[in-house]
Every structure is written in structure tokens, then in C-alpha cells.
Homo-oligomer: A and B are copies of this chain.
Amino acid sequence: MASFRFRCTECNAEYGEDPARLVCSVCAGTQQRGGPVRGALEVVLDGLPDAWPDAVPDSHRFLTDFLPVSDATALPPLPVGNTPLLTVPALREHLGLPHLWVKDDTRNPSGSTKDRASLLVVAKAREYGLETVATASTGNAATALAAVGAAAGIRAVVFVPASAPQAKLVQLLSYGATVFRVDGTYDDAFDLCLDACSEFGWYNRNTGLNPFTVEGKKTAALEISAACVSEHIDVVLVPTGDGVILSGVAKGFADLTRAGLIVGPPRLIAVQPDSSAAIAHAIQDGADAVTPVLGAHSIADSLTVETPRNAIRCLRDIRTSGGSAVTVSDRQIVDAIPRLARSTGVFAEPAAAAVLAGLEVALGQGLVERGERIVLLVTGSGLKDVASAAKAIETPEPIPASLAAVAARLDRGA
């Protein structure tokens, strides 16, 4: 419930709140079609809380004090976030990491971290009296917008690649969204959504463009720190496609640092599929800008992007945190799904399970020390893409309903 202004993430120009403003007027002049968003705006809040709440009941109010909404009643009637930070004893022991946590964001209403962004964007649309919010998405952001929009009475219009997994499509159609399946990539859907918002006057939730997506996603970081008030977190691993979740997490830790509630941000490690790794390559090469990955593809559909639209800010945020980036293969991602599920009870979609594979790569590369306090952000439910999870497991043949059949199967090592 803080007042706020916008600040350009490139030139630091400041702007007051304006429903029609998504980017910096000056830096947007350098925008190239299909390229990373230029002049992305960051929310600068005044009057942040200067102390942790004494008790859990105040936590919800505490979190909303970090949100740029004029009134908590604007928030849609669908609780988002406040997901558990799991202590994962079996995974700790298996990996030899005594201070490892899993932030289980599969528990969000539509099953992914994207609900955090949609909650805030829909709240702002309600404040602004807007009726329609549109977004491009690989699937989860669209579903999140559809779910939160349904609860709040806001119409959702979504643009997804025609190849989006069936579960994500059915889910967002069930929520009543207007769905455009675009013959093309996520990148094509992004640009089409931009054009359609201009043409039809819809409020644009495109991630990396709408400043409130980062603001919404920052709640994941606020919750992690709130759950570990007495312990500094050293490292957070974040699945990365466009890079907006990572920037959201960075913004949360930045706000907490500004408020004096933590000493500084943890190192943020971006995890990307090796076949869709524009941000990781730029970090590893020390490059100022990303090189698009034409024909990017991965089993982690949520992370598949040729040109990460949030690249400029994401590269800045990784470097400011002292972090890094790793890449993982599709095979490593698929194998991580049951390994995470068996050691934690968390069933993750490919993009989310990728952080476990990424952690092991980071350990191997010396980017993480075994004694450090590490959080894996698990961003989406495995139920969103069962076909991919099925690649890592073997479905047993049926047996007759007899004890002899059970015994025989057990003898064969079931």
C-alpha cells in the first residue's frame, strides 16, 4: 500500500503512475521489433516497511505493504503466493547440502509462479477501471491471467504458441479466456499481443514489458526472506526463459535491502535449457547484450524463447547479485522431474525441475559451496505437462487382481 513512481531501468528517468505508461518514453525510441524490451520501468516504492512483522498474522499485510496498489481491496479474491519453503531433508542428504530449501510455487492457484504477476496486474487493471487484460505466453502466464481474471471479473485475452501443451490450453480455456493459438513461436505471440493491445485498447500484461509483472513476482523473494528472517540466503536458483521471474526475485531482495531488512541480495543463478540459453550465454561470455537463439527449443516449453524480452534487466540483475548462469540438457531436465518428486514430494513441470539439474551443474562448476544456504525456486506443477514427465518413468503393465500376481511382480523387483 505504498505510493510509488516508475524509474527507467536503463536511463533512470522517473515517471509518475499512469495506466497508459509501460516503458520509458526516451529509451523506447531504441526499441527494435522482436528485440529485448527497451526502457523497461521499475517500480520505486516510498515508505517501505522498516521491520519484519512480529507475528505471522501480520505477514499478509506486511507483504501488501510492499505492493504498489492503492488499496488491498483491489487485490483479486484468489489468494496467490504464501507457498511453503520446504526443508527437504531427503534431498539435503542426497546432495550433501545441509542448508537447502525448495520454494514450492506449484501451490499457486493455477499451479505456477506466474500467478504472482497476474495477481498484481489484474489488481492494477481493476484500479484503473480496465476491463480486458491481454498477454502473450508460453502457457503459464496466460493460464495465470485467465485464473486470476476469472476470480476478479476481468476478461483475459491470451496469445500462445499453437504448440503449447494440451493441459495448459484446456486449463486456460476452462477459465474462460479468449485464446489465440498463434502459428509460430512465443516470440511471434509476443509481438502479436503488442499489436493487438495497440489496436484494441487492451491492457498489456506481457512479461518484461508490464512493470507490474516484476513487482508481482518479487513476492516470492519477500516470502523466502520472511521465512528465514534470521538466516541470510546465499544463493537462489531460478528457471529462466524471458528472465522476468529472475528479475522479480531480484526486485524483492532489492526492496528488502533498501528497507534495511536484509544485508543484501543472494546470488541469483539463472538456469536455462542448453537449446534456449540466450541469457546464460551472454552471462558466460561477459556480453552486454543477448544474441537471439534462432530455432530455440526445449522440453521445458516455459523456458523456450529466441529473444528474451527482459534480457537487459535480467543480465543487470544477475550481475548485480554476484550471480551466474548455467545450462542443462533436455535429458537432465527430464531426469530431474522424478528425482525431485522422489526426494521432496514436489512434482514439477520440466522448467521447474530444471533448477535441480542446474544446482548440480552449479555445484560441479564451483558456483555454489556445499555449506551455503540455497533455495530452489520450483515454478510450476508437473501436472501441467504430464507428457514430459512420462518420458522419465515406466508405466507398469496391469496385473490380474490376485496375490500371486503381486508376489510375482515383487519378485521381479517392482
A interface residues (Cβ-Cβ under 8 A, vs B): 55-57, 76-79, 84, 86-90, 104, 106-107, 109-111, 147-153, 162, 166-167, 169-171, 173-176, 178-184, 188-189, 191-192, 195-196, 199-200, 337-338, 341-347, 381-384, 386, 389-390, 392-403, 406-407, 409-410, 414
Contacts and interface: CB of A to CB of B under 8 A. Distances in A.
B176 A342 contact: yes
Given A342-B176, A345-B109, A196 B381 contact: no
A176 to B, nearest CB: 4
B109 A179 contact: no
B399 A183 contact: yes
A220 B77 CA distance: 20
A410 B406 CA distance: 56
A406 B56 CA distance: 47
A195 B407 CA distance: 11
A395 to B, nearest CB: 6
A154 to B, nearest CB: 11
User: What copy number does this chain have within its complex?
Assistant: 2
A171 B346 contact: no
Given A150-B343, A166-B390, 5 more contacts: A147-B345, A167-B383, A175-B347, A181-B395, A386-B386
A285 to B, nearest CB: 30
A306 to B, nearest CB: 13
Residue from the set A90, A166, A173, A392 with the largest chain B CB neighbour count within 10 Å: A173
B381 A173 contact: no
A57 B337 CA distance: 33
The 10 closest A-B pairs by CB, nearest first: A151-B345, A383-B383, A56-B57, A176-B342, A162-B398, A173-B393, A188-B401, A174-B341, A181-B398, A147-B345
A174 B395 CA distance: 10
Nearest to A190: B401
A104 B57 CA distance: 20
Given A166-B386, A342-B150, A389-B174, A401 B183 contact: yes
A393 B399 CA distance: 35
B151 A90 contact: yes
A338 B176 contact: yes
B77 A111 contact: no
A91 to B, nearest CB: 10
23 contacts: A55-B56, A89-B153, A90-B150, A104-B109, A106-B109, A150-B345, A151-B344, A167-B383, A170-B386, A170-B389, A170-B393, A170-B395, A171-B347, A171-B386, A173-B393, A174-B341, A175-B341, A175-B345, A178-B414, A180-B409, A183-B398, A183-B399, A383-B384
A182 B399 CA distance: 5
Contacts of A88: 77, 151
A338 B172 CA distance: 10
B79 A84 contact: yes
Contact of A195 (B76, B106, B182, B403): B403
A257 B78 CA distance: 30
Nearest to A143: B347
Contacts of A89: 77, 153
A400 B183 contact: yes
Contact of A403 (B174, B196, B343, B397): B196
Contact of A383 (B171, B346, B393, B398): B171
A78 B345 contact: yes
Contact of A182 (B344, B382, B398): B398
A300 to B, nearest CB: 16
A89 B192 CA distance: 33
A56 B342 CA distance: 32
Given A104-B109, A407-B199, A401 B90 contact: no
Contacts of A182: 398-401
A87 to B, nearest CB: 5
A52 to B, nearest CB: 13
Given A77-B89, A390-B166, A403-B199, A347 B382 contact: no
